[in-house]
Amino acid sequence: MAGGIGISSRTLERRFRGETGMSFGAWRRHARMQFALRGLAEGQPIDAVARATGYDSASAFIAAFATVFGISPGRFFRSAAEPTAKSRTL
């Protein structure tokens, strides 16, 4: 990509980090997980979401998800669905 716009890959990386505050790899990982969250929230199976986001297996996707969010996809959505103490009293 850098060669296509006439700059070195290092220059592209520096400019990308300067504009976004993150490396291209971190940005790509973030974008993949945002896409994955939508699919999971729509009820798509983990295998389908893993393939759609470029992972070779559901286990590789689950490991990457847990690295990014600190929790497995199943626990992420279970905890999001649990009512808070405040909402239970209303």
Quote the pTM value. 0.71
> What would the pLDDT profile of 6-55 be if each residue is shown by its tens digit?
888 888 899 999 999 999 888 989 899 999 999 999 999 999 999 999 99
- Token pair in block for residue 80: 């999001």
- All residues at 6 or more sequence positions from 76 whose CB lies less than 8 Å from its CB, including other chains: 40, 65, 69
- Token pair in block for residue 57: 């297996």
- The second-level CATH assignment, the architecture, of 3-89 is Orthogonal Bundle (1.10)
Task: Let me know: does 39 contact 52? Beta carbons within 8 Å.
Answer: yes
pLDDT of residue 36: 96
Q: Is the dihedral of CA 34, 82, 75, 48 positive or negative?
A: negative
Domain map of the chain by residue range? 3-89
Place of tokens 């847990």: 66
SS3 of residue 90 by DSSP = coil
